[in-house]
Structure 1
């Protein structure tokens, strides 16, 4: 079978799903090395990028102590997932709830990384139920209900004169607590 050399190809996307399945009996650095080499990246490039990503994402101390990914907190797992998605310098990132379980300081770092990625020509697709996050990061949005896109466009177009949360609830359906529900909590 002939075709382009897989070592020279670079996948155009990287993803970080909420429950990112990965070999978790490795340290973060070992995991990044594994993914980089699996993608056909040069070992020296993988090492350099892994060190930089681990430092920026504040995972370097865990690496120095030999902490395995299985022992990472949820926020640390989210960060190592983002590092694996970024390692090969994709053009598109697909992130599911990227700020879930991430502390405010790390969230600021992640936001800066994503803004730099976009400024360099990359695109980020974020799936989130946190509408304030979407409003703060995204310029285009789509609201999906029961697998169907029920609204899409620029943030301003979809929001209209309301908040994105109000629009989302209106489109998806308000399943809130009625006045007669949970009265026992008031006693």
Structure 2
């Protein structure tokens, strides 16, 4: 359910790390109910953008507004309306899944008993009910990712930041997440989705933003991005717009080097 209400606004967002320009005057307006696919090569500035919006990085130039408020004004109450799944997260291994989720829920201002009730129900949907009182140290990567995703949704956020959220998940869980994101957007939730899995970004996003060397080089629907390229897939569009077109030759050279000398062995 996309509306005209701006949930997230970036104006001339610029970030400089010791003389290196990581973000260069990024401008973006994100509406309520949109699923934004935020893509780009490694080092393009995607994670820096997200961390600035989360309030984890200061000393940037420009303006960042969430829910109509400039986050630089010092009021951090907006964070209660945000959910976040980082690409790499350190969980508290000595805690059980339930203890971690209750702890997270309380950080977001939830009452303990309410957090416990919701966590139990959500873990059941992820087939983790039987291990909810097991320490996270024994969990597989996929199980840990399910707990992390659950922790980002427990407090029913209005804005969700997802950085490679499907990493380590089985096919069934991936289908659940993709369907859930679509339904949340229909309910008016806003989702900022960053991933290198282009086919997933292509399928779930109703708007795609491509960042290259700290600058937005494309912004539109998948169909609009297709008009900028002769390629038919998002992967092809990504490669063309970022100038990465020699992947086939590189793969061949890699194999050639790998197999060099085998014939003489």
TM-score bracket for this pair, using the shorter chain length:
0.7 to 0.9
Report if the CA contact (8 A) 1:49-1:87 is conserved.
Answer: yes
1:74-132 deviations in whole A, cap 9, x for unaligned? 11111111111101110011001111111101111112222222122101111011110
Determine whether 1:134 maps to 2:201: yes
Give 5+ residue unaligned stretches, structure 2: 1-74
CA contact (8 A) 1:29 1:50 kept: yes
Shift in Å at residue 172 of structure 1? 1.6
User: Which residue is 2:158 aligned to?
Assistant: 91
Residue among 249, 254, 259 paired with 1:178: 249
Aligned length: 179
Q: Which residue number corresponds to residue 100 of structure 1?
A: 167
Asked whether the 8 Å contact 1:95–1:124 carries over to 2, the reply is yes
**Cα offsets for 1:10-67 (capped at 9, x unmatched):** 712100001123322111111010011122211222111101111111211222xx32
The one of the two structures with greater contact order (alpha-carbon pairs below 8 A, sep at least 6) is 2
SS at match of 1:24: coil
**Structure with more of its chain in strand, by fraction:** 2
2:144 is the counterpart of 1:73? no
Indicate whether 1:144 and 2:217 are aligned.
no
- In structure 2, how many angstroms separate the alpha carbons of the residues matched to 1:32 and 1:109? 20
TM-score normalised to structure 2 length: 0.62
Q: Distance in 2 between matches of 1:150 and 1:10?
A: 29
CA distance in 2, matches of 1:113, 1:53: 12
Aligned residue among 177, 195, 214 for 1:110: 177
Inter-partner Cα distance in structure 1 for 2:79 and 2:220 = 30
- Asked whether 1:59 is paired with 2:128, we answer yes
Q: Does 1:154 align with 2:224?
A: no
- What is the CA RMSD across the aligned residues, in angstroms? 2.2
Would the aligned equivalents of 1:10 and 1:88 in 2 still touch at CA under 8 Å? no
Q: How many Å apart are 1:70 and its aligned residue?
A: 2.3
Which position in structure 2 is the counterpart of 1:40? 109
